[in-house]
Structure 1
Amino acid sequence: MKSKTIKIGTVHQCNCYMGSKTLHPLVSVIDLSDSNLTQQNIKLGFYAVLLRECRCGDFLYGRQYYDYSDGTLLFLTPGETIAIDNCLLPQKGRMLAFHPDLIGCTSLGQNIQDYSFFSYHKNEALHISAREKQKVSECFDNIREELQHAIDCHSKTLITKYIELLLDYCTRFNERQFITRCEANKKLLTKFEKILNEYFEADRVKRNGLPSAEYCADLLQLSPSYFTDLLKYETGKNIKEHIQFKRIEIARQRLQTTHKTVNQIADELGYSSVQYFTRLFTKIAGCSPNEYRHPN
């Protein structure tokens, strides 16, 4: 039987649903151990940062043997549906909920898209150490303490700054997780290179255009955001830059191993004109395609 989806559009509705007191209509810190959650699907109308302290079902959240296991952070966005199951039923943990209206016209509102982990899949959650969990808890406490204060003209500024600080710490911890997953990341990058090689060898560029982050991430069974962050962390390049260098690498190979003309190679690799291909090749390789093929 398909589970019913309950829509919770506001922070106040969330507080009522979870049995928590509303101290501010747009933001709340909820203790999950005191909540009245039941198994069902919930569609949120606000952002949420969920700190789980239970190890039940960690495989659902992508924890591997090389990850920390003292806590797990999940990041949810407005419009997202979360399945409340045995792993999220009253456990030791907390949830920060904040409505988009809270961060409007603030630096957090302008930069919220930079916190890409909000777009990760559930099995790409952030697994944190005891020290990191303590820092997250301190941030939750700071927000909770400010919520205890009567709302005034400073409330929005202080609360959003505390949330921004929390998310900045999460960015640091997320980058640390890429470090502890170094070997696994290398294997993913090897698969990514294979995907690109097969794509170009099959001459799919002329039919389908250049491979996108979404296309590559799907084949790697990753979210586009996680894949993009992984690639940027490991190589220092985004998907567009990486593919650009890959095309030049393939062009070099074809210039050396085939008799195809520069025009043919440029066309096969999806360049709009041979002039653009030549300029880009010269910029990266330090010489023109013809000079590369026939060095002095």
Structure 2
Amino acid sequence: MNDIVDLFTINDYCSGLNLSALHPLVSVINLNDGEWSVNKKAGAVRYHFYAAFLKQGQNCILKYGRQNYDYQDGTLVFLGPGQVVDISNLDTNIKPSGHALLFHPELIRGTHLGNIIERYSFFSYELHEALHLSLKERQIVLDCFDKISYELSQNIDKHSKGVIVSNIELFLNYCNRFYDRQFITRDSANLGVIEQFESSLNAYIRTGKARKEGMPSVSHFAQEQHLSPNYFGDLVKKETGKSAMEFIRYRVIEIAKDKIFDPDKTISEIAYELGFKHPQHFTRLFKSKVGYSPSDYRMLN
């Protein structure tokens, strides 16, 4: 089995391209200037920093898990600390192309961006959930990279870190906007995901799976549709206005309302059928959403 090589620093990545990092904690790289110099025994690499890769020129194939993903010109791929990418099939005869922004968690620690970095959920998306840019969007990304690169090329002063981190945050905010656009332009496909989600959720409860395995989780339904939990959650939020967990709870309560009309079932039995380990947790959730306890709701109707 090939080894997993850990990329702890920005320079660990750069050295694999025979390049030098502009800064130990952050760098903007023109991949066209690099040449592959990877460890022949390496089957995969694990990133310990944040990375955004803008693909330009020839198609690029990356392997994530057991699948290959073919990236066209203008694709933006994000990786976060802890993610592993398979490089066992990397063709080192093809010259790398495109641009990369790399920044270490230590750079943003204690900054505004460091406090909100979890909001940029696309760092936890899987590779096949990449961002596909228009020509105009691509230019905006390159402009952001140019600003960061310019600042890195200047003499370091007390303002340098703030300016660099602010420009990284600006870039990430643009990416949030671009992902919103991508969710909208793929509306018909997204609706298929929502329909499948709702159907699977209903089946999970009505077939008795909830009683056996507990309340359904977001990751369960994301895995069913071969999506990362973060991408799936963001898609559900864009289409329904609710988070994936809110949507699950909403459907659970709607199903509970139907079950409450069955006089042969106790409230506790209904709670167990819906996946609650403790009936009082079901009662508390039902009352918070409906305004009445399950028993009161049954009496009123």
TM-score after normalising by structure 1: 0.86
Rounded Cα–Cα distance in structure 1 between residues aligned with 2:70 and 2:267 = 46
SS in 2 for 1:117: helix
Unaligned runs of 5+ in 2: 62-66
For 2:209, which of 186, 204, 208 is the aligned residue? 204
Amino acid at match of 1:53: Q
Give the 3 Å change call, closer, same or farther, for CA 284–51 of structure 1 in structure 2: same
In structure 2, the CA distance between the partners of 1:146 and 1:209, relative to structure 1 (3 Å rule), is same
Question: Which of 20-29 and 207-216 deviates more?
Answer: 20-29
Match of 2:47 among 20, 29, 44: 44
Q: Is the 8 A contact 2:214 2:277 kept in 1?
A: no
Identity percentage of aligned residues: 43
Deviations 1:137-194 (A, max 9, x none): 0000000000111112211111111111111111111111110111111111111112
* Alignment size in residue pairs: 290
Contact 1:146/1:159 (<8 A) preserved: yes
Residue 14 of structure 1 corresponds to which residue in structure 2? 13
Alpha-carbon spacing, 1:145–1:125, altered in 2? closer, same or farther (3 Å):
same
Matches of 2:280 and 2:13 in 1, distance apart? 58
1:66 match: none
Q: Can you list the C-alpha shifts for 1:73-120, whole angstroms capped at 9, x where unaligned? A: 111122323234349953431011111211111111111111110111
**Unaligned 5+ residue runs, structure 1?**
64-68
Note the 1:90-109 alignment, pairs <5 A. 90-109=95-114
**Deviations 1:6-59 (CA, angstroms, capped at 9, x unpaired):** 433211233333233433221111111111125763332321110012462579
CA-CA distance at 1:277 after TM superposition: 4.3
Distance, in Å, in 1 between the alignment partners of 2:84 and 2:291 is 51
Q: Which amino acid in the other structure matches residue 33 of structure 1?
A: N
Q: Is the 8 A contact 2:10 2:24 kept in 1?
A: yes
Cα-to-partner distance string for 1:186-243 (whole Å, 9 max, x where unaligned): 1111111121111101222233211111111111111111111111111121232112
Q: Which residue among 51, 55, 78 is the counterpart of 1:75?
A: 78
Determine if contact 1:27/1:99 at 8 Å carries over to the other structure.
Answer: yes
Counterpart-to-counterpart distance in 2, 1:251 and 1:71: 47
Paired residues of 2:214 and 2:276 also in contact (CA < 8 A): no
Q: 2: CA distance between counterparts of 1:71 and 1:118?
A: 18
Structure 2 residue identity aligned to 1:246: R
